Chains A and B, each alone.
Chain A
Amino acid sequence: GAVVSQHPSRVICKSGTSVKIECRSLDFQATTMFWYRQFPKQSLMLMATSNEGSKATYEQGVEKDKFLINHASLTLSTLTVTSAHPEDSSFYICSGSGERGTDTQYFGPGTRLTVL
């Protein structure tokens, strides 16, 4: 299957700082990338959808000014959590989909964010 990587795998930061998470598709071109958040023992919640070269589409309730998404190329998307607070602590997972007309998504390994 297609491979998606995320960096960093784990980050601990102080409240008020910004954190950038990178998501890369390693062996395919991801025309669309998705960002999810997952709280302990809960399922994935879609935060936003980004298409290469265009603005991300955010789900209802997700603050676009807080969670900045950039999809600059077909293999790289970044999520920046700005002015992070303890309630932003979560597991952030990205996924990529390369083929329009199919909803198969390939997920990265996730990034665990802890805000102190």
Chain B
Amino acid sequence: QKEVEQDPGPLSVPEGAIVSLNCTYSNSAFQYFMWYRQYSRKGPELLMYTYSSGNKEDGRFTAQVDKSSKYISLFIRDSQPSDSATYLCAMSLMTTDSWGKLQFGAGTQVVVTP
């Protein structure tokens, strides 16, 4: 079983709809959670990060963490065709031994159709 599970998609939504992405994880020791966006043949771009359970909002993006359920989500409101990309969740233990090591999900491909 992978430590981080993420549905690879593709997830197709019409322009203006809410995109809902999620990851589940098995290691309850994960403390730091991130979402990256990766366009084709480009490096990942950090979208959001959070340390704690609850919601964090930044513009059209909302990140949600539920540590009790070991489940994180990313919501994109008013989606645009330019949001079409692969979205990767990542998380880390933030311990001295594992500092810097991120566990990535497989990435979900999102397609926003005009």
List residues of A whose CB falls within 8 A of some B CB.
1, 4, 6, 32, 34, 41-44, 46, 49, 91, 93, 95, 97, 100-110, 112
Q: Is B8 an interface residue (CB 8 A)?
A: yes
Task: Give the residue of A100, A103, A106, A109 whose beta carbon is less than 8 angstroms from that of B102.
Answer: A103
How many B residues touch the partner, as a band? Answer: 20 to 34
The answer for the CA separation of A101 and B32 in the assembled complex, in Å, is 11
Determine if A103 and B44 form an interchain contact, defined as CB atoms under 8 angstroms apart: no
Give the top 3 A-B pairs by smallest Cβ distance, nearest first.
A107-B43, A103-B92, A43-B104
The answer for the CA separation of A93 and B101 in the assembled complex, in Å, is 15
Measured CB to CB, the closest approach of chain B to A3, in angstroms, equals: 11
A and B contact pairs by CB, cutoff 8 A, 10 listed: A32-B100, A34-B100, A44-B44, A46-B102, A49-B101, A93-B43, A103-B101, A103-B102, A105-B100, A109-B43
Q: Is B61 an interface residue (CB 8 A)?
A: no
- Specify which chain A residues have a CB less than 8 angstroms from the CB of B34 in the assembled complex: 103-104
Determine if A43 and B106 form an interchain contact, defined as CB atoms under 8 angstroms apart: yes
Task: Give the residue of B41, B92, B99, B104 whose beta carbon is less than 8 angstroms from that of A112.
Answer: B41
- Specify which chain B residues have a CB less than 8 angstroms from the CB of A102 in the assembled complex: 32
The answer for the CA separation of A34 and B102 in the assembled complex, in Å, is 10
The answer for the CA separation of A100 and B101 in the assembled complex, in Å, is 12
Task: Give the residue of A34, A42, A106 whose beta carbon is less than 8 angstroms from that of B106.
Answer: A42
- Specify which chain A residues have a CB less than 8 angstroms from the CB of B17 in the assembled complex: none
Determine if B104 and A103 form an interchain contact, defined as CB atoms under 8 angstroms apart: no
